[in-house]
């Protein structure tokens, strides 16, 4: 039987001489009807370029297909040559036979048109539907992707919907014409883990209903297990390994696949947490950082002159303490208040109430205390591109009134060496470094002032998985060497499991569960923690069905003067406790 | 040095750079009085001569040498353009940074004033200021400077606002860096590239505005030479002595072309993503 899609020795190049600047170098695969192929690789491996070449969108992205063959079996059984097709022919194929969804649902939709109009467009173009028929079809399409209250939502513009909802709208548009092939390019990377689980569940269900084939592109090999039939691992534009799902996951042959499976953080429900530096009752030692009753509210005003009518309760009564040499991970989804907590500790956000004490020093809520330093999420945005590394590292010293002398230079050199950067880095500029190296620079800069506490706000989230693992190792080493206390903010449970001693789960501005990492991850008590842990993809879950949960996060906007009820805590041995529910 | 080499390695930069360089040379010669003839001496016997070997660009109604007047005029126009752009750059950068950094109320006040200034067409606003203050070189400089200040304020404020929200500014705050340090090192330093481009383009506009003011009799006063004044004088003699109009007109056009080409080249070159790592 002929496969739905057959790709042979595909080569794609960029720039003036595409032949000499190839990004995809000889990819071959077959995709049968109803089959799912997962393409796994890190950024720059050529996985997205491969996907964009299949529907020839690469022509618009500056790329040129330099060689190979691609054939698509059409609905009537005839073979369609994707390589030689003209642009008008391809327009008929895209959307109708090959649907596509992208990584960023926020930017894939036109912000000024209602989602209804955007879904109808697909029906208009490919099925010739107009007016009421198109609207009815659009409503059906939204129903199909399980968006509640579809008829009303058609009139919404994209800014009125959450990221997960928008990705469902994108799926509705991609599936409008019942394509027989769906290309999903990192469809869940920009989404929270529980939303990711919903989207994965939806894709699996839709695939069962329609019998379509799918090409699923991801950097996360853990996500592959739940959905793929076949896996292709890409590195540097080549497929280093491809085969059946079980064969790749259980019996990987290529060292790179083995590296992805073993060295990269995978979630194991608390069985690989750190065993060093447990708390020993805490008697006698002073905490490095103690946060008491932290509240951050942003007043809401309807206009410039009117009084505040309510407030966004971003952080609503958070307490924790952090011992020297310990990592406390704060986990939660976007909008839960975890970053706001971190920024309040550093004084970047003005806290409404609450107190901090850093070491022996008491710091008021307003002023930043210098023994706390921070490493930011985006290594590309947190270094001034116009300053040399020397100036960047000197800044904390200058800011605290110090002089840049031989001693400072010696410290810069030793820190750079300690974080694993070349000696000649000082005269260079940030753009000469890779993302992982930049993050190392940020770590070195944070350590310039000898802090006792380092706040790591999603510090490894923007990095490729294998770089992530190395930076985490570095962080653990530095912690042991300097006795640093880490406040580690993350949404990624697999990463948290590697580095945390204790975990605080934060939901809607409040800590719902806190305790020893192993205990929280293996025996979660609060329903939200359970849901969060259940949503994490792992390589052990083969074709497991995620539950489709369409509950929305509660609104954090409260009327003026609202105070949350005091928390009741239930204790579960050691220091593991969870907020009582109901 | 590196930037000069980059300009000459850039297609349109090379052309723009040569044009601007030649103009600068001519302007300096013109200002130093190193012209073929004295630009204000009237050779009464040689009135309205077409270009010839003695008078390369001919003579005007009063028998003055057009080439010499052109050189002096370029010197005069460039002086006005440079000082007025310097004024606008300084004022605009300070106002723009203040608006972006102080935010809220100050931002509103500064930017609304700039909006009002921008609401007037450039030449009209310049005319207004010159009419009130009286014509002359220095009033032209101040008037043109004020006219272009709002553009610099906007060019600075927008990127400064976005830079202010960048993580490296947050990072600087966590070290406790002072506001002046953050504004100069993190904001201003990142604004050098857009400002350089804007300065080059503003030089072209202010040349044109100066020419316009002089054309209307409100800029440089006769008998001193300026490009706009020369054009104005040539108006009635367009048919009998077309060289009176053609040479100053061409001089204005080519100078603006040169500055625009240079500005485009600088925009490409100063983008830090285009900068290569030193070998």
Residue A4 backbone dihedrals phi, psi, to 5 degrees: -65, -45
Contact B168 A396 (CB under 8 A): no
Share of chain B above pLDDT 90, in %: 34
Name the residue among A378, A386, A387 with its Cβ closest to that of B167. Answer: A378
**Spatial CB neighbours of B179, under 8 Å, sequence gap ≥ 6:** B101
Q: Which residue of B has its CA nearest to A370?
A: B175
Query: By the 8 A CB rule, do B130 and B88 touch?
Result: no
pLDDT score recorded for residue A543: 56
Cα torsion B207, B212, B213, B215: sign = positive
Query: HSE (CB half, 13 Å, CA atoms) of B42?
Result: 7
pLDDT score recorded for residue A441: 92
What does the block give as tokens for A44? 């720059």
Cα torsion A154, A157, A161, A167: sign = positive
CA distance B95 to chain A (A): 22
**Spatial CB neighbours of B183, under 8 Å, sequence gap ≥ 6:** B97, B101
CA distance A470 to chain B (A): 23
pLDDT score recorded for residue B142: 93
Q: Contacts of residue B177 in chain A, CB cutoff 8 Å?
A: 395-396, 398-399
Tell me the pTM. 0.79
**Spatial CB neighbours of A368, under 8 Å, sequence gap ≥ 6:** A346, A347, A348, B173, B174, B176
**Using omega within 30 degrees of 0 as the cis cutoff, is the peptide bond preceding B180 cis?**
no
CB atoms < 10 A from the CB of A1, how many? 6
Query: By the 8 A CB rule, do A122 and A177 touch?
Result: yes
Contact B185 A384 (CB under 8 A): yes
Q: Contacts of residue A432 in chain B, CB cutoff 8 Å?
A: 277
Name the residue among B166, B189, B192 with its Cβ closest to that of A381. Answer: B166
Rounded-to-integer distance, Cα B247 and Cα B268, Å:
32
What does the block give as tokens for A470? 């190395």
Contact B170 A382 (CB under 8 A): yes
Contact A346 B172 (CB under 8 A): no
Q: Which residue of A has its CA nearest to B273?
A: A431
What does the block give as tokens for B272? 């830090």
Q: Would an 8 Å CB–CB cutoff place A398 in contact with chain B?
A: yes
pLDDT score recorded for residue B143: 92
Query: HSE (CB half, 13 Å, CA atoms) of B151?
Result: 22
pLDDT score recorded for residue A366: 37
Element (H, E) at A513: strand A510-516
Of the candidates A286, A281, A308, the one whose C-alpha atom is nearest the C-alpha of residue A297 is A308
Q: DSSP states of B135-150 as a string? A: SSHHHHHHHHHHHHHH
**Hey, what's the torsion of the CAs at B127, B133, B137, B142, to 10 degrees?**
-80
Starting at the edge strand found earlier in the chain, the sheet holding A485-490 runs A372-375, A453-457, A485-490, A327-331, A502-507, A510-516, A577-579, A569-571
Helix (H, G, I), strand (E, B) or coil at A529: helix
Of the candidates A170, A43, A55, A5, the one whose C-alpha atom is nearest the C-alpha of residue A101 is A170
Per-residue pLDDT of chain B (279 residues; tens, 9 = 90+): 677 888 888 888 899 999 999 999 999 988 888 888 888 777 777 777 778 877 778 788 787 888 888 898 899 899 999 999 999 999 999 999 999 999 888 999 999 999 999 998 888 888 899 889 888 888 999 999 999 999 999 999 999 999 988 888 988 888 888 888 899 889 998 898 889 889 998 999 999 998 888 888 888 788 788 888 888 888 888 888 888 888 989 999 999 999 999 988 888 887 655 554 333
ipTM comes to 0.73
Chain A, 471-530: which have a CB under 8 Å from a chain B CB?
none
Contact B167 A431 (CB under 8 A): no
Task: Tell me the sheet residues that pair with A100.
Answer: A183
Contact A384 B272 (CB under 8 A): no
Query: By the 8 A CB rule, do A63 and A13 touch?
Result: yes
**pLDDT, mean of each 10-residue run, chain A (582 residues):** 87 84 89 91 86 86 86 85 86 85 82 88 83 88 82 85 83 86 87 82 85 90 85 90 89 89 77 68 70 86 67 86 90 85 86 76 46 86 89 88 86 90 87 88 90 90 83 91 91 88 90 90 89 81 59 69 79 83 72
Name the residue among B170, B176, B189 with its Cβ closest to that of A399. Answer: B176
Name the residue among A373, A376, A431 with its Cβ closest to that of B272. Answer: A431
Alpha carbon A5 to its chain centroid, in Å, reads: 30
Q: Which residue of A has its CA nearest to B191?
A: A386
Q: Contacts of residue A348 in chain B, CB cutoff 8 Å?
A: 170, 173-174
pLDDT score recorded for residue A86: 86
């Amino acid at each position: 039987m002929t496969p739905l899609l057959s790709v042979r020795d595909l080569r794609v190049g960029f720039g003036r001489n595409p032949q000499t600047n190839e990004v995809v170098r000889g990819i071959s695969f077959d995709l049968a009807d109803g089959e799912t192929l997962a393409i796994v690789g890190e950024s720059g491996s050529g996985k997205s370029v491969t996907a964009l070449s299949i529907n020839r969108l690469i022509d618009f992205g500056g790329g040129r297909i330099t060689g190979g063959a691609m054939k698509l079996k059409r609905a009537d059984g005839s073979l369609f040559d994707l390589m030689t097709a003209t642009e008008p022919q391809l327009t008929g194929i895209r959307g109708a036979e090959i649907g596509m969804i992208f990584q960023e649902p926020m930017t894939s939709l036109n912000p000024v048109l209602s989602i209804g109009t955007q879904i109808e467009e697909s029906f208009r173009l490919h099925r010739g539907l107009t007016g009421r028929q198109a609207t009815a079809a659009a409503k059906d399409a939204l129903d199909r992707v399980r968006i509640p209250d579809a008829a009303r939502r058609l009139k919404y513009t994209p800014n009125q919907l959450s990221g997960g909802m928008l990705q469902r709208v994108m799926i509705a548009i991609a599936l409008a014409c019942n394509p027989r092939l769906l290309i999903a390019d990192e469809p869940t990377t920009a989404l929270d883990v529980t939303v990711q689980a919903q989207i994965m569940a939806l894709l699996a269900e839709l695939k069962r209903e329609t019998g379509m084939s799918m090409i699923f592109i991801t950097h996360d090999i853990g996500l592959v297990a739940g959905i793929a039939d076949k896996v292709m691992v890409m590195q540097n534009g080549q497929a280093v390994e491809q085969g059946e799902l079980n064969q790749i996951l259980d019996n990987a042959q290529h060292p790179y696949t083995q590296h992805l499976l073993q060295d990269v953080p995978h979630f194991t429900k608390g069985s690989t947490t750190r065993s060093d530096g447990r708390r020993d009752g805490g008697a006698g030692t002073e905490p490095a950082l103690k946060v008491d009753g932290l509240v951050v509210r942003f007043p809401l005003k309807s206009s410039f002159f009117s009084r505040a009518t309510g407030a966004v309760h971003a952080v609503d009564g958070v307490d924790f303490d952090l011992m020297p040499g310990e990592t406390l991970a704060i986990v939660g989804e976007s909008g839960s208040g975890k970053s706001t907590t971190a920024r309040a500790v550093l004084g970047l956000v003005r806290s409404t109430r609450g107190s901090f004490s850093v070491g022996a020093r008491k710091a008021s809520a307003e002023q930043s205390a210098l023994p706390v330093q921070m490493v930011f999420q985006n290594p590309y945005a947190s270094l001034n591109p116009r300053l040399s590394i020397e100036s960047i590292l000197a800044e904390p010293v200058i800011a605290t009134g110090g002089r840049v002398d031989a001693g400072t230079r010696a410290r810069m050199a030793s820190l750079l060496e300690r974080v694993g950067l070349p000696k000649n880095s000082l005269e260079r500029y940030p753009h000469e470094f890779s993302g992982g190296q930049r993050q190392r620079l940020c770590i070195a800069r944070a350590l310039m002032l000898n802090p006792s506490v380092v706040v790591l706000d999603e510090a490894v989230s923007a990095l490729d998985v294998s770089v992530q693992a190395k930076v985490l190792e570095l962080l653990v080493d530095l912690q042991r060497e300097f006795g640093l206390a880490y406040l580690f903010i993350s949404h990624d449970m697999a990463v948290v499991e590697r580095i945390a001693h204790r975990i605080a789960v934060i939901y809607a501005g409040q800590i719902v569960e806190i305790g020893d990492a192993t205990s929280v991850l293996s025996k979660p008590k609060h329903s939200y923690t359970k849901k969060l842990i259940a949503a994490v993809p792992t390589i052990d879950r083969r074709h497991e069905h995620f539950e489709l949960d369409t509950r929305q996060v509660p609104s954090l906007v409260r009327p003026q003067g609202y105070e949350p009820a005091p928390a009741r805590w239930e204790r579960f041995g050691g220091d593991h406790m969870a907020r009582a529910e109901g | 040095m590196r930037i000069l080499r980059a300009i000459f390695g850039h297609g349109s930069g090379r052309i723009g750079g040569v044009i601007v360089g030649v103009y600068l040379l001519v302007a300096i010669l013109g200002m130093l009085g190193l012209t073929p003839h004295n630009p204000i001496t009237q050779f009464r016997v040689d009135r309205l001569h077409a270009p010839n070997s003695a008078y390369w660009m001919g003579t005007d109604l009063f028998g003055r040498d057009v080439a010499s007047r052109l050189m002096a005029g370029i010197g005069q126009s460039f002086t006005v353009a440079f000082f007025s752009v310097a004024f606008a750059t300084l004022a605009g950068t300070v106002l723009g940074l203040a608006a972006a950094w102080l935010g809220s109320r100050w931002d509103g006040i500064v930017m609304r004033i700039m909006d009002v200034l921008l609401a007037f067409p450039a030449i009209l606003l310049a005319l207004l200021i010159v009419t009130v203050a009286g014509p002359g070189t220095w009033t032209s400089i101040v008037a043109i400077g004020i006219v272009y200040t709002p553009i610099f304020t906007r060019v600075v404020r927008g990127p400064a606002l976005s830079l202010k929200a960048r993580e490296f500014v947050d990072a600087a705050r966590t070290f406790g860096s002072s506001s002046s340090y953050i504004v100069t090192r993190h904001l201003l330093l990142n604004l050098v590239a857009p400002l350089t481009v804007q300065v080059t383009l503003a030089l072209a506009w202010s040349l044109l505005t100066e020419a316009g003011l002089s054309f209307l009799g409100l800029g440089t006063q006769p008998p001193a030479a300026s490009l706009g004044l020369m054009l104005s004088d040539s108006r009635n003699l367009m048919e009998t002595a077309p060289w009176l109009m053609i040479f100053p007109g061409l001089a204005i056009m080519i100078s603006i072309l040169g500055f625009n080409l240079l500005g485009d080249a600088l925009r490409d070159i100063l983008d830090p993503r285009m900068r290569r790592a030193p070998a």
